[in-house]
Amino acid sequence: MEICHSFAALKTNKYTHVENCSISVSKFILLGFPYTWEIRILCFSVFSGTYILTLIGNLCIICAVRCDHQLQTPMYILLANFSFLEIWFVTSTVPNMLANFLSETNTISFSGCFLQFYFFFSMGTTETFFLSAMAFDRCLAICRPLHYPAVMPVQRCIRMGACCWVCGFLYFLLPIYLISQLPFCCLNKIDHFLCDPGPLIKLSCAPAPVTEIICAIYNSVLIFSTLLFITSSYTLVIRAVLRVPSAEGRHKAFSTCGSHLSVVSLFYGSIMVIYVSPTAGNPAGIQKYVTLFYSVLTPLFNPLIYSLRNKEMKEALRKLFKTVRFRQRPGRNL
């Protein structure tokens, strides 16, 4: 009881203190990773390399799908869209994080903070929709192979991809608007490397239980509905694959679906730790490192997972690299 009273008193003192402050926040300070200068330089080097490799890996998949006519199928069109999304997903946070490693101020404007918030969460939401669309595509291809060409032509796949983009960028508009309307005064230090809803809500001058509940509902509906859909799709896939008499056919199907499931596990395993309840029970350190994992490292792993476990993609990448080497060879036109 004494601990509860102390916590309540501390929270009340916080709001009493900020109510006495009339200064409106025009910028935020991202505390990021408060390491020594030497470790920050090391982090800058490591994450610069990670960012470049992520761009190269995902661009290779896009180029392979674009250049190889055998990959002009719904599965690979969705994969190319997913890789394009990953490029922008990692770009929404990493360049600013890299700049902050070399900066002493680490400030971001109010509008810049909420723009980053919007694009980061919109692309994360779009990623859940694309993972669902890819699961649906594999479910149709494996469970209904004879009907698949008619049910999922390329044009329908393109429309489904466009729907993922539009819905992803519309879904979080209300929570972002509500958080942007909270009163921010005096307190402007965000214990994170990006503008995240949990730390932002905690900086508000006044309690915002309604906004917290709405954010939790939006996150929970998005995460659990898409995860349930993906899990159900792959359950049907596994049941269908186990009925395949050919061991080679089973291996090919499991190889393709194994790639998707690996990406789903990496992404959902990390976001569920943070965003089902954005302000409850997660220490700032854990939030930062889990966010770092799914926002920076997962986009690096995805091209490796899809290319190493897929024969068609490996062959297309091999052709792409041969073409690039041939065009760079001196005297090739002689």
| 27-70 tens-digit pLDDT | 899 988 888 899 999 999 999 999 999 999 999 899 988 888 88
Long-range contacts of 13-20 (CB under 8 A, 24+ apart): 15/205, 15/206, 15/207, 17/186, 18/185, 18/186, 18/187, 18/205, 19/205, 19/206
Nearest-angstrom CA–CA distance, 141 and 137: 6
Quickly state the pLDDT bin for 5 (edges 50, 70, 90).
very low
**Could you tell me the CA-to-CA distances from 85 to 77, 125, 153, 176, 180 in Å, in that order?**
12, 11, 22, 20, 25
The residue assigned the tokens 């995860």 is: 227
- pLDDT tens per residue, range 295-334: 898 899 888 887 766 778 888 888 888 877 766 666 555 4
**What pLDDT, in 10s, does the model give residues 176-232?**
999 999 988 877 888 889 998 888 888 888 888 899 999 989 989 999 999 999 999
What does residue 188 show for φ and ψ, rounded to 5 degrees?
A: -140, 15
At 24, phi and psi to the nearest 5?
A: -85, 140
What is the CB neighbour count within 10 angstroms for residue 7? 10
Residue 73, phi then psi, degrees to nearest 5? -125, 160
Alpha helices in the chain (DSSP H): 2-19, 37-67, 74-91, 94-101, 110-143, 148-151, 154-171, 173-180, 197-202, 209-242, 247-275, 284-292, 298-308, 311-328
| The predicted structure's pLDDT at residue 332 | 54
Q: Which residues contact 25 (CB under 8 A, 6 or more apart)?
A: 110, 184, 185, 186, 187, 188, 203
Q: Which pTM was predicted?
A: 0.85
Confidence of residue 170 (pLDDT cuts 50, 70, 90): very high
pLDDT of residue 4: 44
pLDDT score for 172: 92
Across residues 247-264, what is the average pLDDT? Answer: 74
According to the per-residue pLDDT averaged within each range, which of 24-28, 173-177, 255-259, 310-314 is highest? Answer: 173-177
Beta strand pairing call for 189-190 and 27-30: parallel
